[in-house]
């Protein structure tokens, strides 16, 4: 089975590429290194010292013959067409998007850049699939953030409603809260339409917020969590633009920086460990939808409020001698700070998804792992404090 | 009151510009003439011989001192910024979009072009309003086609639902059926978000399918429907890419071309006369929403199926000696041919909207008016037959 991983140099893309390669799929990774450039643009850097793309891909290729890399920009129609025409994948995991809400809110230029990269990139992939691989399976990474925080339960994509006495099953309406999240909503609408008119198989993943850094494949010896292979470690961003909430808290805890809880901290989301995201994506790959089927998976493990995540970080941090402080700061975002939140997550567990560790146990892996990079985090602590992009 | 009409050279934009100018608003019209270019691109032309932009704008300027024209491409950020900075409008009517479903389906290039023009153009306008005129009122033209054809009543933008025992008022979910319609859905989502974070006043118009050609302002003497001023007449497209359904039928009837009913012809939509669209937009301008309010108007007069429109054209055509034939042809589109359709239209009537004529009476104006251009239509009859863009 041949799989294209688009965005194979990213936080998820790289460990996913290693996982799928190790499992024996024929993997073609593509990237244009733009994540590295955009992180540098905001003066941030990964806590983990990641290898150059060349070093990464060479190291993986030394171990496995079933991996190859191609430099492709998803916004370049010719490059995408050529990729599909030449490699004819059975499945495509599309991670080649700009994944940051704050980044998309920095300026008009960042808004339009995120819009064009994400929406046009996905369209180029959909068109290439129509032309060259109409039976292939697209696994598109969206976000739970597409749904927003209405007062309703959140189903997996579609809801059966009775409205004024009539019934239908309709897409759950999206209320996204950043330009980035809007691009994912647009992608969702475009994917649903492409599946309908062209008969494409599409799994649209509404993913929760990821956390974690190490996966077995980046260790020198499989299963040995102590010895990381410096050529294989994935990136770990902790700055206000690229760092996700729990990852940011762990980095802050390590350098004795009070955890920055935005506002009340009752904002509740679904969270998922990086290693479990790989497990879920693998399940999606192995269980493709029918021809012409567009399906939605809500992909997360547990729900936490920001405040609860801070408390967890404080509690587990103490086991490693960290005296973690928590500080509520004015919310740089415009979002509901207290809201109802009850999303479904049934489809992936039915297909076999079982979380590997509890969040606390994953913190027990993350904290000692990242303590080795304390100096690198400390050196960049200036990029932790959020800027109020939503309000300027 | 200063109003910017974006897309002032178009089918609606031009008569709207004349209407608002005649009513005494300070009007700044902007366009980049791209509609003319894109109609020529598909080898079509307007049934009415429209004047050059220069001739049009000069003729209007001769009559009124409160009109001026600026060449602006809405996709050019600097041009849009400069426009808002200099003119500081109270209201903006945004018609500067590529308005054709078939055009957006021709190829990948046409899909992306429509996406970028419409989505980025609207984003540039939203950002310019945020920067220069945060209290101004944006009247954004969307389409009833955003809603699709679910089994439910269609409210004006938002629906109150009870789902699994919990209640909320949520956006009515969109299920659009072409890339063009998708761009309008993306616009809607972007406008709703911009209004929320920046406090913009936005009226999002879900407009039905327009028909008609003459409005009082393009006559030599106001109210005299016989004498058209050749410098002021608006465009009238009848080809398969740019012509709307009833307009296409009238043109076909005039040249004895069997009316092309797509498939069963039970596809039902809301329809509105061009002159009444101007009336509605004027009402929206005169009744702006509150600061930070995003509201949706469903804007149409009556519902008709395609088959009913063909029958109406046949009936009224006979009054003018036309022997109209009706031909069902394979549907070039992918759409439900039989479906429930019951959209609300309450807000505009509450604000005073009253349709000017019945559809039959408007046909009695259109048919003799367009019979004068029979030879021009006949000469371009080759562009009437639809191509199956949805299916290739």
- Active site members of B: 143, 180, 184
pLDDT of residue A328: 97
| Tokens encoding A309 | 């995540």
pLDDT: is A336 or B226 the higher one?
A336
ipTM: 0.97
What confidence tier does A219 reach under pLDDT thresholds 50, 70, 90? confident
Of B162, B175, B189, which is closest to A174 when you measure between CB atoms? B189
Calpha distance A313→A319 (Å, rounded): 10
Each residue of B45-77: pLDDT tens digit? 999 999 999 999 999 999 999 999 999 999 999
pLDDT of residue B225: 54
- Which H or E run contains B35? helix B34-41
pLDDT of residue B206: 98
pLDDT of residue A46: 98
What confidence tier does B227 reach under pLDDT thresholds 50, 70, 90? confident
Which has the closest alpha carbon to B133: B91, B88, B92, B94? B88
Q: Give per-residue burial for A302-340: e unless 16+ CB within 10 Å, then b.
A: ebbbbbbbbbbbbebbeeeebebebebeebbbbbbeeee
Calpha distance A219→A233 (Å, rounded): 8
Quote the longest CA-to-CA distance of chain A: 63
**Mean pLDDT over residues A82-109, rounded?**
98
Examine the pLDDT at A86 and tell me if it is beyond 80. Answer: yes
Residue of A nearest to B340 (CA): A166
| Tokens encoding B105 | 């389906």
Each residue of A154-174: pLDDT tens digit? 999 999 999 999 999 999 999
Calpha distance A99→A180 (Å, rounded): 7
Which has the closest alpha carbon to B135: B296, B295, B293? B293
Whether residue A184 lies in the annotated active site: yes
Calpha distance A123→A120 (Å, rounded): 5
What confidence tier does B224 reach under pLDDT thresholds 50, 70, 90? low
Calpha distance A155→B174 (Å, rounded): 17
CA A37 vs. chain centroid, Å, equals 18
Calpha distance A148→B170 (Å, rounded): 11
What confidence tier does B223 reach under pLDDT thresholds 50, 70, 90? low
Q: How far is CA B52 from CA A11, B36, B214, B219, B228, in A?
A: 55, 10, 18, 17, 16
Bridge partners (DSSP) listed for residue A27: A3, A67
CB contact at 8 A, B153 and A168: no
CB contact at 8 A, B331 and B239: no
pLDDT of residue B291: 97
User: Which residues in chain A belong to E strands, given as ranges?
Assistant: 2-6, 26-31, 67-71, 91-94, 137-143, 158-163, 166-171, 201-207, 209-211, 259-262, 268-273, 294-299, 302-305, 326-329
Residues of B contacting chain A (CB within 8 angstroms): 77, 108, 111-112, 115-116, 119-120, 123-124, 127, 150-153, 159, 161-164, 166-168, 170-177, 179, 182, 185-186, 189-190, 192-193, 196-197, 334, 340, 390
Provide the Cα torsion A68, A74, A78, A83; round to 10°. 30
Examine the pLDDT at B264 and tell me if it is beyond 60. Answer: yes
**Mean pLDDT over residues A341-354, rounded?**
98
| Tokens encoding A191 | 């994917």
Examine the pLDDT at A222 and tell me if it is beyond 90. Answer: no
Examine the pLDDT at B226 and tell me if it is beyond 80. Answer: no
CB contact at 8 A, A177 and A335: yes
pLDDT of residue B219: 83
What predicted TM-score, i.e. pTM, was given to this entire model? 0.97
pLDDT of residue B392: 87
**Mean pLDDT over residues B122-138, rounded?**
98
What confidence tier does B385 reach under pLDDT thresholds 50, 70, 90? very high
CB contact at 8 A, B106 and B114: no
The secondary structure of B89-103 as a DSSP string is -SEEEE--S---HHH
Examine the pLDDT at A220 and tell me if it is beyond 90. Answer: no
Q: Which residue out of A163, A177, A183, A196 would a mutagenesis test of the B interface target, given it has the greatest number of B Cβ atoms within 10 Å? A: A163
CB contact at 8 A, B251 and B370: yes
Examine the pLDDT at B90 and tell me if it is beyond 60. Answer: yes
Which has the closest alpha carbon to A190: A256, A266, A121? A121
Residue B287 CB neighbour total at 10 angstroms: 14
Of A116, A164, A193, which is closest to B176 when you measure between CB atoms? A193
**Mean pLDDT over residues A9-13, rounded?**
98
Which has the closest alpha carbon to B22: B223, B213, B166? B223
pLDDT of residue B362: 97
Each residue of A192-201: pLDDT tens digit? 999 999 999 9
What confidence tier does A392 reach under pLDDT thresholds 50, 70, 90? confident
CB contact at 8 A, A338 and A266: yes
pLDDT of residue B43: 97
Residues of chain B with pLDDT > 90: what percent? 97
Q: Which residue out of B146, B150, B187, B391 would a mutagenesis test of the A interface target, given it has the greatest number of A Cβ atoms within 10 Å? A: B150
**Mean pLDDT, all residues of chain B:** 96
**Mean pLDDT over residues A41-66, rounded?**
96
Residue of B nearest to A116 (CA): B116
What confidence tier does A181 reach under pLDDT thresholds 50, 70, 90? very high
What confidence tier does A224 reach under pLDDT thresholds 50, 70, 90? low
Each residue of A279-312: pLDDT tens digit? 999 999 999 999 999 999 999 999 999 999 999 9
Calpha distance A299→A288 (Å, rounded): 16
Each residue of B328-344: pLDDT tens digit? 999 999 999 999 999 99
Of A112, A172, A177, which is closest to B173 when you measure between CB atoms? A172
CB contact at 8 A, A356 and A225: no
pLDDT of residue A227: 81
Examine the pLDDT at B21 and tell me if it is beyond 70. Answer: yes
pLDDT of residue A350: 98
- Quote the minimal CA–CA distance from A159 to chain B in Å: 8
A2-391 is classed CATH 2.60.260.40: no
pLDDT of residue B276: 98
Residues in chain B: 392
């Amino acid at each position: 089975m041949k799989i294209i991983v688009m965005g194979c140099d990213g936080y998820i893309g790289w460990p996913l590429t290693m996982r799928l390669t190790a499992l024996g799929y024929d993997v073609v990774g593509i990237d244009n290194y733009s994540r590295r450039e955009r992180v540098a643009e905001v003066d941030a850097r990964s806590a983990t010292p990641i290898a150059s793309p060349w070093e990464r891909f060479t190291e993986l290729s030394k171990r496995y013959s079933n991996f190859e890399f191609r430099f492709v920009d998803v916004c370049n129609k010719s490059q995408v067409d050529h990729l599909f025409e030449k490699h004819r994948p059975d499945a495509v995991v599309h991670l080649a998007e700009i994944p940051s809400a704050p980044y998309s809110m920095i300026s008009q230029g960042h808004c339009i850049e995120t819009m064009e990269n994400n929406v046009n990139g996905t369209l180029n992939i959909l068109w290439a699939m129509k032309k060259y691989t109409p039976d292939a399976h697209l696994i598109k990474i969206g976000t739970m953030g597409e749904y927003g925080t209405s007062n309703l339960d959140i189903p997996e994509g579609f809801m059966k409603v009775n409205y004024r006495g009539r019934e239908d099953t309709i897409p759950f309406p999206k209320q996204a809260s950043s330009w980035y999240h809007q691009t994912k909503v647009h992608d969702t609408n475009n994917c649903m339409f492409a599946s309908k008119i062209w008969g494409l198989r599409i799994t649209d993943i509404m993913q929760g917020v990821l956390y974690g850094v190490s996966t077995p494949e980046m260790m020198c010896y499989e299963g040995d969590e102590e010895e990381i292979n410096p050529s294989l470690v994935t990136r770990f961003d902790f700055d206000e633009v690229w760092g996700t909430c729990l990852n940011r808290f762990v980095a802050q805890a390590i350098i004795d920086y009070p955890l920055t809880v935005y506002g009340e901290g009752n904002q509740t989301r679904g969270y998922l460990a990086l290693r479990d995201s790989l497990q879920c994506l693998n399940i999606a790959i192995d269980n493709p939808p029918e021809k012409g089927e567009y399906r939605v998976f809500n992909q997360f493990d547990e729900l936490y409020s920001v405040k609860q995540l801070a408390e967890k970080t404080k509690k587990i941090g103490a086991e490693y001698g960290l005296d973690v402080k928590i500080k509520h700061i004015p919310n740089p975002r415009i979002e509901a700070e207290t809201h109802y939140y009850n999303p479904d997550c049934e489809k992936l567990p039915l297909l076999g998804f079982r979380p590997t560790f509890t969040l606390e146990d994953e913190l027990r892996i993350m904290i000692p792992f990242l303590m080795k990079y304390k100096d690198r985090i400390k050196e960049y602590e200036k990029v932790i404090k959020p800027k109020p992009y939503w309000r300027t």
